[in-house]
Amino acid sequence: MAASRMAPSSVPWVWELVAGVVLRLALLMSTQHVAAELTDGNSEHLKREHSLIKPYQGVGSSSMPLWDFHGSTMLTSQYVRLTPDERSKEGSIWNRVPCFLKDWELHVQFKIHGAGKKNLHGDGFALWYTRERFVPGPVFGSKDNFHGLAIFLDTYPNDEATERVFPYISAMVNNGSLAYDHSKDGRWTELAGCTADIRNQNHDTFLAVRYSQGRLTVMTDVEDKNEWKNCFDVTGVRLPTGYFFGASAGTGDLSDNHDIISMKLFQLQVEHSPEEENIDWTKIEPSVSLLKSPKDNVDDPTGNFRSGPLTGWKVFLLLLCALLGIIVCAVVGAVVFQKRQERNKRFY
Ligand SMILES: *[C@@H]1O[C@H](CO)[C@@H](O)[C@H](O)[C@H]1NC(C)=O
Ligand SMILES: [Ca+2]
Q: Do 232 and 105 fall within a single domain?
A: yes
Number of domains into which the chain is organized: 2
CA of 178 to the centre of ligand 1 (A): 9
Phi-psi region of 60 (alpha: psi -120 to 50; beta: other; left: phi over 0): left
Closest alpha carbon to 302 in 217, 191, 238, 214: 214
Return the exposure string of 22-60: e unless at least 16 CB atoms fall within 10 Å of the residue's CB, then b: eeebeeeeeebeeebebbeeeeeeebeebbbeeebeeee
Mean residue pLDDT across the chain: 84
Q: What is the pTM of this model?
A: 0.74
- Residues 76, 48 share a domain: yes
Same domain, 150 and 45: yes
161 and 203 share a domain? Answer: yes
Confidence bin at 302 (pLDDT 50/70/90): very low
Does residue 333 sit in the same domain as residue 284?
A: no
- Report the candidate in 183, 177, 178 with the shortest Cα–Cα distance to residue 154: 183
Query: What is the dihedral sign for C-alpha 167, 311, 228, 236?
Result: negative
Residues 249 and 150 in one domain: yes
Same domain, 94 and 80: yes
Residue 24 has pLDDT above 80, yes or no: no
160 and 297 share one domain:
yes
Regarding the beta carbon of 145 and ligand 1, being less than 6 Å apart is answered no
Among 316, 329, 324, which Cα is nearest to 24's? Answer: 316
What pLDDT does residue 90 have? Answer: 97
Q: Is the peptide bond before 309 cis (omega within 30 degrees of 0)?
A: no
Supply the pLDDT for residue 86: 97
Distance 238 CA to ligand 1 centre (A): 12
Q: What percent of the chain has pLDDT over 70?
A: 76
| CA 245 to centroid of ligand 2, rounded, Å | 22
297/20 Cα distance (integer angstroms): 30
Q: Judge if 232 and 219 occupy the same domain.
A: yes
- Amino acid 336: pLDDT: 79
Residues 8 and 101 placed together within one structural domain of the fold = no
* 133 & 278 share domain: yes
Cα angle: 40, vertex 244, 266; to 5 degrees? 15
Same domain, yes or no, for 287 and 151? yes
Protein residue whose Cα sits closest to atom 14 of ligand 1: 285
| pLDDT per residue as tens digits for the range 274-286 | 999 999 999 999 9
Which CATH number belongs to the domain containing residue 302 in this structure?
Answer: 2.60.120.200
From the CA of 185, the nearest ligand is 2
Structural domain harbouring 9? 2-35+313-346
CA distance 249 to 120: 16
Given a contact cutoff of 8 angstroms between Cβ atoms, the answer to whether 288 and 242 are in contact is: no
Percent of the chain whose predicted confidence (pLDDT) is above 90: 64
Q: Is residue 58 scored above 60 in pLDDT?
A: no
